[in-house]
Amino acid sequence: MRIGDSLPEWHVEATPTFVISTALATRDFQDVHHDRDLAVQRGSKDIFINILTTTGLVQRYVTDWAGPEALVRQVNIKLGAPCFAYDTLKFFGQIVEREQQDLTIEVVGRTAHGDHVTGTVKIEVPA
Amino acid sequence: MIDIEKEAARIAEQGESAPRLARDPVNLPMINNWLEAIGDEHPGYTEVAPPAMVQVWTMAGLHGQRTLDDPLGAMMTILDEAGYTSVVATNSDQTYHRYLKVGEHLSVTTSLEDVTGPKRTGLGEGWFVTTRSTWWVGDEAVAEMRFRVLKFKPARKPDPKPETPKPQAIRPSVNRDTEYFWEGTRLGELRIQRCGGCGLLRHPPGPMCPECGAIKPKYLVSEGYGVVYSYVVHHHPQVPGKQTPFVIALVELDEGVRMLGELDGEPSVGLPVEVVFTKVDDELTMPSWRPRADR
């Protein structure tokens, strides 16, 4: 695990079931995450993933790669284009800093509409 | 008129909200629901929770009411009143001081850090509202979050265009002199008027032969081949049923007469062309030209 190392690309199919089940599992009951009629009324194309889920996906992307021994210390994310139902969310990542066992990984999650999320994750890996 | 910045300063001055207790302690059923939905098969979450779940524990829930001293809620109300009615989360920066154990009961405090605006954004004019939250187990701070939302006036969508009826093609005026021609196109025949007296071919049709004066026109069916004698590329004005630019060619038929028609293709003088029939409706079939396939 060195600076510049890339994480394997990972794809998430944001099915309506995925959008809704993750919204409910994160206890986010905003209608735009489960009710397409209301989402469309509010100017959205469809229901879309909530921010708590994006944080969870970014964490999972990094820990799937780093292994279960890695400890997550920080997840910072900035949202761009919404990730709508039926979008494919593609994750890319790279190690940008390493200080002993502390790694900083830059993550981008992209849909066909553009960058859904850009962020950094700080983890601590076993020696 | 609401002074948003003044209201923001007032709320920020109030500092941290009182601790709000999570509905449930950190627990395995909620952890498992989360893992299942996210699809995370990390084996380590049997006694501790995934760090990224921290905010989940203190979500207000399905019928959640904001507490009176909740600065984000207060700021949202002010911006609602000022007409910024929509909200979207833009940033979440979470720092986890340690993993949370099953059974620990979290509470959260929140303060208003910053309100910036009005900004023009892709979604519409809005204000960025940044809060800082701290999660506590007892008096130990276990996690922190800087959270930013954009509270905006949805950009007005242009009114949907009224359904404009599909423009009709310009229809030829069909009369007794020209009837035979349009009857022919319906049958896939390109008919050329021929004098019933002297046999002269002529186009466009007319009642009387300019050569012999006979008024008994007949017709001949053309082979449908010719060459471009001249052409124009029409840009303006718009023509009902047509996308500009389009080409109108004067085609000299092999039989000798010249005939106008639209040309579908790159025009040039002398270009060999053949006729094509396009059915507009049951009444009308239009002849036009295309470059000959066999040349």
Average pLDDT, rounded, for chain A = 96
Pairing of strands B272-279, B246-253: unpaired
Name the amino acid, one letter, at B209. C
Q: Exposed (0-12), middle (13-18) or buried (19+): which is B179, by Cβ within 10 Å? A: exposed
pLDDT tens profile A85-121: 999 999 999 999 999 999 999 999 999 989 999 999 9
pLDDT of residue B66: 77
Task: Provide mean pLDDT across the span A47-70.
Answer: 97
Q: Pick from B28, B45, B94, B123 the residue to mutate for testing the A interface (most A CBs within 10 Å).
A: B94
pLDDT of residue A44: 86
Q: B190 phi and psi, to 5 degrees?
A: -100, 110
pLDDT of residue B271: 94
The CATH architecture one would assign to domain A6-124 is: Roll (3.10)
Query: Domain locations in chain B?
Result: 4-152, 179-291
Q: Please tell me the pTM assigned to this model.
A: 0.67
- The answer to whether the beta carbons of residues B273 and B226 sit under 8 Å apart is yes
pLDDT of residue B29: 98
Please say whether the dihedral angle defined by the alpha carbons of residues B61, B66, B71 and B73, taken in this order, is positive or negative.
positive
Q: A16 phi and psi, to 5 degrees?
A: -55, -40
pLDDT of residue B123: 82
pLDDT of residue B166: 55
Q: B108 phi and psi, to 5 degrees?
A: -135, 140
**Chain A interface, Cβ < 8 Å to B:** 12, 18, 21-22, 24-29, 42-43, 50-60, 63-64, 68, 71-79, 82
Distance CA A34, CA A50 (A): 10
- CA B34 to the chain's CA centroid: 35
Distance CA B143, CA B203 (A): 89
Which residue in the set B38, B62, B88 is minimally distant from A56, CB to CB?
B38
The CATH number of the structural domain formed by B4-152 is 3.10.129.10
- 3-state class (DSSP) for residue B28: helix
pLDDT < 70 positions in chain B = 1, 156-168, 294-295
Strand ranges in B44-123 using DSSP code E only, listed in sequence order: 86-96, 106-121
pLDDT of residue A54: 98
Q: A59 phi and psi, to 5 degrees?
A: -60, -45
> What does DSSP assign to residue B37?
H
- The answer to whether the beta carbons of residues B97 and B86 sit under 8 Å apart is no
Two tokens at A44? Answer: 């959205």
Q: B178 phi and psi, to 5 degrees?
A: -110, -5
pLDDT of residue B243: 84
Distance CA B292, CA A38 (A): 56
What ipTM score was computed for the predicted complex, to two decimals? Answer: 0.97
Hey, which residues does B226 pair with through a beta bridge?
Answer: B253, B273
Inter-helix orientation angle A16-25/A51-66, to 10°: 100
Which residue in the set A22, A25, A77 is minimally distant from B91, CB to CB?
A77
pLDDT of residue B38: 98
pLDDT tens profile B111-166: 999 999 999 988 889 999 999 999 999 999 999 999 999 999 877 665 555 555 55
pLDDT of residue A26: 98
Query: Domain locations in chain A?
Result: 6-124
